[in-house]
């Protein structure tokens, strides 16, 4: 099993509510990433539809799709043709009418849906629209195990730790992170990587939705020490790459053994409601 993997992050803008146009852009990014040797590409939070639930209104439910569904089938055909994994955030139609999730689907290089992560921590008014997930799945690939958390999830150390304890070696973070919190973006990414001794790849939107939401980009891939390997531009579309070697996780976890030195029997307070 190869432990070398090339990650691509598609830092794009998208047109609110225009699924067709957004998917065409996603496909262009996938083709370009594949042509440059990427094994996995990840896109920003709700990158197929745009983010603002309040501005979408009733169209939010019209845009929701089951997984698997039409969008995953379309992107799956391209993933299979190019032999690339795709992490595609989208509005997922729930199993009951009126239920939708803020999700990210992993489509493997054979074109099949390998799994879905549903955002667990609702930011601001998201909870008025989306039903939160309550599990942290980890997905096996020929390179290693990967986990996914979405945007605001990154502010909760427990999310990344739960993924790590299930074996995640790379954690992807699709996001629609606002310009006002750029400083928090720069803090959270290296912290989650360092404290779990994992690679972390966080991809952010660019563009504006409404008058009060500007997303600054600055997607980045960091190593298990929290060191930035590559960082995307601010306020413009970009496609960035990093080749990483998962074998270094062994030495990284020997050097600073946060996982070995945990004392979970002393953490009872963490599971109590305030």
E-only strand ranges, 13-70? 40-42
- Output the six-digit token pair for 154: 């990154």
Residue 69: per-residue pLDDT? 98
- Output the six-digit token pair for 114: 């390998």
Q: Which residues are catalytic?
A: 45, 119, 151
Owner of token pair 């996603």: 26
- Distance, in Å, from the CA atom of 157 to the CA atom of 171, rounded to the nearest integer, reads 13
What angle do the packed helices 157-165 and 182-196 form, to 10 degrees? 30
Judged by DSSP in three states, 8 sits in strand
Using alpha carbons only, what angle is made at residue 13 by residues 76 and 216, rounded to the nearest 5 degrees?
125
The CATH code that applies to domain 4-263 is 3.60.110.10
Using alpha carbons only, what angle is made at residue 132 by residues 89 and 200, rounded to the nearest 5 degrees?
50
Residue 227: per-residue pLDDT? 98
Residue 78: per-residue pLDDT? 98
- Distance, in Å, from the CA atom of 11 to the CA atom of 136, rounded to the nearest integer, reads 24
DSSP letters along 187-248, please?
Answer: HHHHHHHHHHT-EEEEEE-EEEETTTEEEEB--EEE-TT--EEEEPPBSS-EEEEEEEETTH
Closest C-alpha among 185, 188, 253 to residue 224:
253
Phi, psi of 25 (to 5 degrees): -70, -40
Judged by DSSP in three states, 168 sits in coil
Residue 1: per-residue pLDDT? 57
Residue 2: per-residue pLDDT? 64
- Distance, in Å, from the CA atom of 148 to the CA atom of 200, rounded to the nearest integer, reads 10
Per-residue pLDDT of the chain (274 residues; tens, 9 = 90+): 568 999 999 999 999 999 999 999 999 999 999 999 999 999 999 999 999 999 999 999 999 999 999 999 999 999 999 999 999 999 999 999 999 999 999 999 999 999 999 999 999 999 999 999 999 999 999 999 999 999 999 999 999 999 999 999 999 999 999 999 999 999 999 999 999 999 999 999 999 999 999 999 999 999 999 999 999 999 999 999 999 999 999 999 999 999 999 999 999 999 998 8
Residue 274: per-residue pLDDT? 82
Where are the chain's structural domains? 4-263
- Output the six-digit token pair for 101: 């999730």
Owner of token pair 């830092």: 11
């Amino acid at each position: 099993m190869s432990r070398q993997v090339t990650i691509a992050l598609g830092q794009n803008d998208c047109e609110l509510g225009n699924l067709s146009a957004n998917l065409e852009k996603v496909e262009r990014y996938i083709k370009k990433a594949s042509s440059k040797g990427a094994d996995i590409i990840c896109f920003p939070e709700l990158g197929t539809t745009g983010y603002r639930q309040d501005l979408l209104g009733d169209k939010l439910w019209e845009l929701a799709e089951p997984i698997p569904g039409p969008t995953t089938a379309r992107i799956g055909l391209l993933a299979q043709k190019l032999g690339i994994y795709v992490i595609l955030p989208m509005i997922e139609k729930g199993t009951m009418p009126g239920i939708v999730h803020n999700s990210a689907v992993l489509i493997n290089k054979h074109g099949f849906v390998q799994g879905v992560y549903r955002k667990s921590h609702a930011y601001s008014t998201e909870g008025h629209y989306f039903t939160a997930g309550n599990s942290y799945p980890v997905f096996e690939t020929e390179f290693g195990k990967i986990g996914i958390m979405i945007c605001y999830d990154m502010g909760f150390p427990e999310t990344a730790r739960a993924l790590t304890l299930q074996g995640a070696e790379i954690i992807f973070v699709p996001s629609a992170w606002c310009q006002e919190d750029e400083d928090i973006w720069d803090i959270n990414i290296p912290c989650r990587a360092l404290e779990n001794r994992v690679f972390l790849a966080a991809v952010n939107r660019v563009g504006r939705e409404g008058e009060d939401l500007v997303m600054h980009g600055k997607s980045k891939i960091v190593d298990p020490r929290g060191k930035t390997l590559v960082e995307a531009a601010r306020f413009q579309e970009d496609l960035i790459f990093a080749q990483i070697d998962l074998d270094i996780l062994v030495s990284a976890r020997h050097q600073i053994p946060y996982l070995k030195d945990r004392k979970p029997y002393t953490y009872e307070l963490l599971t109590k409601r305030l």
